[in-house]
């Protein structure tokens, strides 16, 4: 299950893919929907809720075809698309869940 804080976190991560200087990584709105449809990792962990680590882990795999990175950004950094997406996702602050 997705909490509102996690949904907002996904929105912030999508925005980060569009606003990160030095990369032309742009997750589409469909990319955020794809990510939000993947709560299976939480179920595999035996958890009822999706956590930020689930989002961080899944984003590079789910967005493999949804995120475009310019060839210049990829070759200039010598990094894969998955590594670049993981860095962008990791740059977004984790949400703070309420205690109730």
Binned at pLDDT 50, 70 and 90, residue 88 comes out as: confident
pLDDT in tens, 18-27: 776 655 667 7
- Residue 6 corresponds to which tokens in the numbers above? 């996690």
Q: Is the pLDDT of residue 67 over 50?
A: yes
Binned at pLDDT 50, 70 and 90, residue 97 comes out as: low
Q: Between residues 16 and 64, which one has the greater pLDDT?
A: 16
Q: Residue 1 in contact with residue 50, Cβ under 8 Å? A: yes
Domains, the chain: 4-90 (1.10.8.80)
**pLDDT recorded at residue 99:** 43
**Distance from C-alpha of 3 to C-alpha of 48, rounded to nearest angstrom:** 10
């Amino acid at each position: 299950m997705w909490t509102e804080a996690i949904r907002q976190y996904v929105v912030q991560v999508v925005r980060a893919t569009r606003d990160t200087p030095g990369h032309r990584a742009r997750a589409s709105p469909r990319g955020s929907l794809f990510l939000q449809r993947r709560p299976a990792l939480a179920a595999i962990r035996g958890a009822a809720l999706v956590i930020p680590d689930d989002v961080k882990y899944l984003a590079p795999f789910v967005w493999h075809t949804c995120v475009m990175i310019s060839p210049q950004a990829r070759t200039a950094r010598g990094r894969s698309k998955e590594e670049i997406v993981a860095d962008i996702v990791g740059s977004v602050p984790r949400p703070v869940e309420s205690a109730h």
